[in-house]
Copies of this chain bind each other. A is one copy, B any other.
Amino acid sequence: MTRRLLLGAFLFHPGGSHVSGWRHASAEPHRHVDIEYYTRFAQTAERGVFDTIFLADGLYFWDRFPSGVDHYGQTRLEPLTLLSALAVRTSRIGLAATVSTTYNEPYHVARAIASLDHISRGRAAWNLVTSRYDEEARNFGGDDHLDHSLRYERGAEFVDVVHKLWDSWADDAILADRESGLFADAAGLAVADHRGRHFTVRGPLNVSRPPQGYPVLFQAGGSDAGQELAAATADAVFARSLPVGEAQRFYAALKARVVAHGRQPDEVAILPQLRPVVAETEADARALAAELLASTPDAIIVEDVAHSIGQTLPADPDAPITPAPDTDIANESKSPNRRLARLLSGERLTARDLYAESFWESVSVGSPAAIADDMQERFESGAADGFVVQALTQPLGFESFVDLVVPELQRRGLTRTSYEETTLRERLGLARPARRVPEPVTA
């Protein structure tokens, strides 16, 4: 089978992945809770023969800084309800919901995702996150978030319980035999009876086994613990965007981890984020990107940079930054700290300078051919198995990608021109997991 470049269409803030993408003249910021707005997004992705849409999520409203309330377009629909509606508005595309393992219960998550998998006839995916913000903890009884390693330990056990619940029923256990009166074959039913450190869950699930066996599992997996969990359990990893050399090293290291867990390297697809700004010409694309950057309110610039370097800043984004005396740059590999190091070395930089630098580093700006070149290079040089596309402004940025870049990728034979397989798992080239009859676990 020819290796095929995978495509996911990402949405978090409905106006686009740039915080003020909603301000663009083409945007529709009054429609952030309008199902027709999301339907158009999903149908556009399906028109582009994307493998999946990918709804990011957070269990909080970001009001730590005033700019979060004033300027971000954060109000939106909850992913599982939204994807269930989109399941019947689409027919072939995957539907990935972000769900936290820290503030949920496995029985609910197993049920809801199994249900979405049935409703969509095998197109559900779960993007597992462990929720890192204090803002999330405070909506669920706590004041601080769980310790990082404990979150991942809980996450690993959570996946284990969910798998056991999805395995409650054999694929052929539902007989529905009018004649005998046997609805289910008791021999095909297993009780999870899970007793672990974080969860005690008996089961069985009251939903029959999902069409995909286990719906597809996405993870972000940036940290060491995150990569371990992903290598052990994920079907696909959503990675951050890196310069091509760093991306190749990340890719190789993660595939090695996958192998270390006794799996084949191609059992886990690695999908970095891609933030394209595309137009017919390079000049038009740069103009659009510059316009989006220029639409960023000053308060966001100042508060975003203040947050990233960990110190308060004056309200004027054009004032030179004086690093705080207690500045810690222990981890120089992180880009905010690279900037801190430059500040500490005496370089004269304003918040606007730093914000703009981050912006241009994070985006892929160019003509359709140039963007396709970059994607192809990364795909063919061991930096990516595909991409999760985050348009900066919606719907324009994503529709431009589908109209301009996708045909170029298709001409090059990198992506498909139509859907062939039925389930998302099949489309990703992954086997349907055999049912494992759960055995009692004591941890």
Give the B-binding residues of A (Cβ under 8 A).
20, 22-25, 27, 29-30, 32-35, 39, 58-61, 63, 66, 69-78, 80-82, 84-85, 87-89, 103-105, 107-108, 111-112, 114-116, 118-119, 135, 138-142, 168-169, 174, 176, 178, 181-184, 186, 189, 191, 199-208, 295, 297
- Could you name 18 residue pairs across A and B whose Cβ atoms are closer than 8 Å? A24-B178, A33-B207, A35-B118, A63-B191, A69-B184, A69-B186, A70-B186, A71-B181, A75-B206, A76-B207, A77-B115, A78-B111, A82-B119, A85-B87, A103-B107, A103-B108, A141-B200, A181-B295
Contacts of A81 in B (CB 8 A): 80-81, 84, 112, 115-116, 119
Q: In the complex, what's the smallest C-beta–C-beta distance from A204 to chain B, in angstroms? A: 5
Given the known inter-chain contacts A22-B176, A73-B176, A184-B69, please indicate yes or no for A168 contacting B203, CB distance below 8 A. no
Complex: chain B residue closest to A77, CB-CB: B115
Contacts of A199 in B (CB 8 A): 141
Q: How far is the CA of A141 from the CA of B107 in the complex (A)?
A: 10
The 8 closest A-B CB pairs, nearest first, are A29-B176, A84-B84, A78-B115, A138-B202, A81-B84, A33-B118, A61-B206, A107-B139
Q: How far is the CA of A190 from the CA of B227 in the complex (A)?
A: 38
Other A-B contacts than A61-B168, A77-B207, A139-B203, 10 sampled, CB-CB below 8 A, are A33-B208, A63-B189, A66-B186, A73-B176, A75-B207, A77-B119, A81-B119, A82-B119, A85-B88, A104-B108
Given the known inter-chain contacts A63-B204, A84-B82, please indicate yes or no for A22 contacting B115, CB distance below 8 A. no
Contacts of A200 in B (CB 8 A): 138, 141-142
Q: How far is the CA of A22 from the CA of B140 in the complex (A)?
A: 41
Q: Is the CB of A201 within 8 A of B35?
A: no
Q: How far is the CA of A169 from the CA of B69 in the complex (A)?
A: 11
Given the known inter-chain contacts A105-B140, A115-B77, please indicate yes or no for A181 contacting B23, CB distance below 8 A. yes
Contacts of A34 in B (CB 8 A): 118
Q: Is the CB of B70 within 8 A of A201?
A: no
Select one of B66, B78, B119 contacting A85, CB under 8 A. Answer: B119
Give the number of times this chain occurs in the complex, counting copies: 2
Contacts of A115 in B (CB 8 A): 33, 77-78, 81-82
Contacts of A27 in B (CB 8 A): 178
Given the known inter-chain contacts A63-B204, A178-B23, A199-B141, please indicate yes or no for A183 contacting B89, CB distance below 8 A. no
Point out which of A71, A75, A104, A204 has the most chain B C-beta atoms below 10 A from its C-beta.
A75
Q: Is the CB of B204 within 8 A of A61?
A: yes
Contacts of A183 in B (CB 8 A): 22, 29, 70-74
Q: In the complex, what's the smallest C-beta–C-beta distance from A226 to chain B, in angstroms? A: 23
Q: Is the CB of A201 within 8 A of B33?
A: no
Contacts of A202 in B (CB 8 A): 135, 138-139
Q: How far is the CA of A27 from the CA of B184 in the complex (A)?
A: 16
Point out which of A77, A78, A186 has the most chain B C-beta atoms below 10 A from its C-beta.
A78
Q: Is the CB of A70 within 8 A of B29?
A: no
Given the known inter-chain contacts A63-B189, A183-B73, please indicate yes or no for A140 contacting B107, CB distance below 8 A. yes
Given the known inter-chain contacts A85-B84, A108-B104, A202-B138, please indicate yes or no for A181 contacting B119, CB distance below 8 A. no
Q: In the complex, what's the smallest C-beta–C-beta distance from A137 to chain B, in angstroms? A: 9
Q: In the complex, what's the smallest C-beta–C-beta distance from A148 to chain B, in angstroms? A: 21
Q: Is the CB of B23 within 8 A of A78?
A: no
Contacts of A204 in B (CB 8 A): 61, 63
Contacts of A139 in B (CB 8 A): 107, 201-203
